[in-house]
């Protein structure tokens, strides 16, 4: 009877040691998520669409007719380098040709250049930013003539 008891204890201790080893070897070495600390991280609301000289864009009434919620438009730049547009689907739809932002879009700031990547679609924009204001310069054909207009989208950080 003693050999059976010894076998049972040995088996129990072996199983206990294996269970402890299994739990102790859990994969704790996961790759940390990239976190970007650029001041662009946060939520920005569109405050104006200007010419490069600082005046309101002359075609602004046409844009507002198609997207009356334009000045409710917000861009959320996340620290994992994703960006989303929200609160004005009409403006987001109007912008798809020159400023394509959807759930798959990523951002990168390099000096005074903002790069938006959406799959194989990569667009770069001149960018100036302070802690509270951001300006993105875009070229768009607002008249349908093929002649692009340069505009500056002015955002305030919320």
**13-30 per-position pLDDT tens digit:** 555 555 555 555 555 556
What is d(CA 85, CA 38) in angstroms, rounded to the nearest whole number? 18
Is the model's pLDDT at 32 over the cut of 60?
A: no
Query: What pLDDT is recorded for position 17?
Result: 55
Output the pTM of the full model: 0.73
CATH 1.20.58 fits 42-157, yes or no: no
Query: What pLDDT is recorded for position 16?
Result: 54
Query: What pLDDT is recorded for position 53?
Result: 84
Return the SS3 of 14.
helix
Residue 99 has a CB neighbour count (10 Å cut-off) of 20
Q: Residue range 102-120: average pLDDT? A: 91
**Among candidates 91, 86, 85, which has minimal Cα distance to 62?**
91
Rg (CA), the chain: 27
Place of tokens 């005046």: 55
């Amino acid at each position: 009877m003693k050999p059976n008891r010894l076998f049972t204890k040995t088996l129990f201790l072996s199983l206990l040691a294996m269970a402890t080893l299994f739990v102790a070897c859990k994969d704790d070495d996961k790759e940390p998520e990239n976190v970007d600390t650029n001041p662009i991280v946060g939520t920005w609301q569109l405050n104006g669409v200007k010419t490069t000289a600082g005046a309101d864009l002359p075609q602004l009434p046409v844009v507002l007719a198609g997207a009356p919620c334009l000045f409710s438009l917000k861009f959320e730049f996340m620290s994992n380098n994703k960006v989303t547009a929200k609160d004005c689907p009409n403006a987001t739809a109007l912008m798809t040709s020159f400023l394509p932002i959807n759930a798959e879009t990523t951002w990168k700031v390099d000096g005074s250049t903002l790069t938006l990547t959406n799959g194989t679609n990569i667009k770069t924009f001149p960018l100036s930013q302070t802690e509270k204001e951001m300006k993105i310069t875009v070229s768009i054909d607002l008249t349908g003539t093929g002649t692009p207009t340069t505009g500056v989208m002015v955002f305030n950080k919320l």
